[in-house]
Structure 1
Amino acid sequence: MNDRLAADLDRAFPDLMRELQAGVYSGVRRMVPTGADAEDITQEVFIRAYRAMDGYPPERIRQLNLPGWIWTIAVNLCRNAARTRSRRPRTVELDRDAFEAGMGPEASAVLSDENRRWADRLSQLSSPQRTAVVLRHVVGLSYADIAEATGRVEGTVKADVHRGIAKLKETVT
């Protein structure tokens, strides 16, 4: 993919988006409170990635660890959103996923309750633990990619994932 992006960014970038967009959205959705925020951040991730690569020489594009680099952008945008959110009043979002799936009110309520419980559990983790757990177990990134995306040492990332999972297990049992 890197060689294709370096050779023709405009032609290859949509393929990069198709490859990574769903995973980025899924991970971001677990780091921000609303689906709308996740959509906005996911879109902004790829806008920033395109703009950055458009200014890079081909050799630099070839050297990028694309998943780690994309997640660095995503994590930073999630952090920015959290800072901004702390200064704004809260809003409540309807469970659009359940609505779009054609679920009835009862099934939607059950799904919404379960999503809320997991969101509450994740919110009890420290920010580094939550980010590491989501990137590892939801997005499926390697520890090396998570370390690159978060700017932390790989051993620290492993510890964050381990401790985060241990805390989640405590809240489930």
Structure 2
Amino acid sequence: MSDIDCLDPVRKALLDDLDEGFAELYGAHRGLVFSTALRLSGRWADAEDLTAEAFLRAYRALAGYDADRIAALQPRAWLMTILMNVWRNCARTKSRKPPPDLRDEPVDTVDPGEGVEAAAVRRETGDELAELLGRLPEEQRAAVVLRHVVDLPVSEIAEVLKIPQGTVKSHVSRGLKRLRAMGGAR
């Protein structure tokens, strides 16, 4: 059995054919990347943009990687690192521009199979969570989202955010404490 046979299906597919492998990578991780982007940005349209940009950058990067680098890749942590960089860059750019006119904000999409009551509860809960997460400092928001939405282990979060594991634990703990305090104050 060769080393390539021991790889997960996504990395094996990337090594076999970049385009088909990327389609598998996208299919396996698009929900996770979008969910993380939504929690970080707080807006559906921004999350779609962040997700698209993250996958575009991932594809461009993969095109320049050799087989050994692809074989060693940890796709989930790697995609989260790219997403975090895209998010930070967008946040910097937005801080230099005036806010958009909210009258142009698109209406949230609805799952046609979802009942009205379930959709209302999901929307209300999601909006509340997004609003609370948006009030956290950037480093705490990122750590909480990566730990409790993406479910990354502390070691991978440290790698993604390029900070020590102890700092990750501190950011998560302080972020959760703030969320609890904000949630109780409502």
Determine if the TM-score, normalized by the shorter chain, exceeds 0.5.
yes
Q: Secondary structure at the match of 2:132?
A: helix
With over 3 angstroms needed to count, the CA separation of the structure-2 counterparts of 1:156 and 1:9, relative to structure 1, is same
TM-aligned CA deviation for residue 134 of structure 1: 0.7
Secondary structure of 1:97's aligned partner:
coil
Aligned to 2:4: none
Deviations 1:1-35 (CA, angstroms, capped at 9, x unpaired) = 32331232122111111110001000101111321
Instruction: Kindly state the Cα deviation for residue 99 of structure 1 after the two structures are TM-superposed.
Output: 7.6
Match of residue 97 from structure 1: 109
Q: 2:138 aligns with which of 116, 127, 134?
A: 127
Shift in Å, 1:71: 0.6
Please give the TM-score of this superposition, normalised by the length of structure 1: 0.87
> Which residue of 67, 75, 87 maps to 2:76?
67
Query: Contact conserved, 1:95 with 1:108, CA < 8 A, in 2?
Result: no
Larger radius of gyration: 2
User: CA contact under 8 A between 1:7 and 1:58: conserved in structure 2?
Assistant: no
Residue in structure 1 matching 2:176, options 139, 156, 165: 165
Cα distance in 1 for partners of 2:21, 2:68 equals: 16
Match of 2:15 among 6, 17, 41: 6
**2:126 aligns with one of 103, 115, 121:** 115
- The corresponding residue for 2:98 is 88
- Structure 1 residues without counterparts, runs of 5 or longer: none
Report the counterpart of residue 6 of structure 2 in structure 1: none
User: SS at the partner of 1:31?
Assistant: helix
Structure 2: 5+ residue stretches without partners: 1-9
The structure-2 alpha-carbon separation of the partners of 1:109 and 1:11, relative to structure 1 and needing over 3 Å to count, comes to closer
Cα 1:15–1:167 change in 2 (3 A) is: same
| 2:56 matched residue in structure 1 | 47
Instruction: Return the offset for 1:51.
Output: 0.9
Letter of the structure 1 residue corresponding to residue 142 of structure 2: T
Q: Does the 8 A contact of 2:42 with 2:134 survive in 1?
A: no
- Aligned mates of 2:113, 2:159 — CA distance in 1: 36
The RMSD of aligned alpha carbons is 2.2
Structure 1 SS opposite 2:82: helix
Q: Given the alignment of the two structures, is residue 31 of structure 1 paired with residue 37 of structure 2, yes or no?
A: no
- Matched AA of 1:171: M
Question: Runs of 4+ in structure 1 displaced over 4 angstroms?
Answer: 98-104, 106-113
Question: Is it true that 1:150 corresponds to 2:157 in the alignment?
Answer: no
Code of the residue aligned with 1:129 in structure 2: it is Q
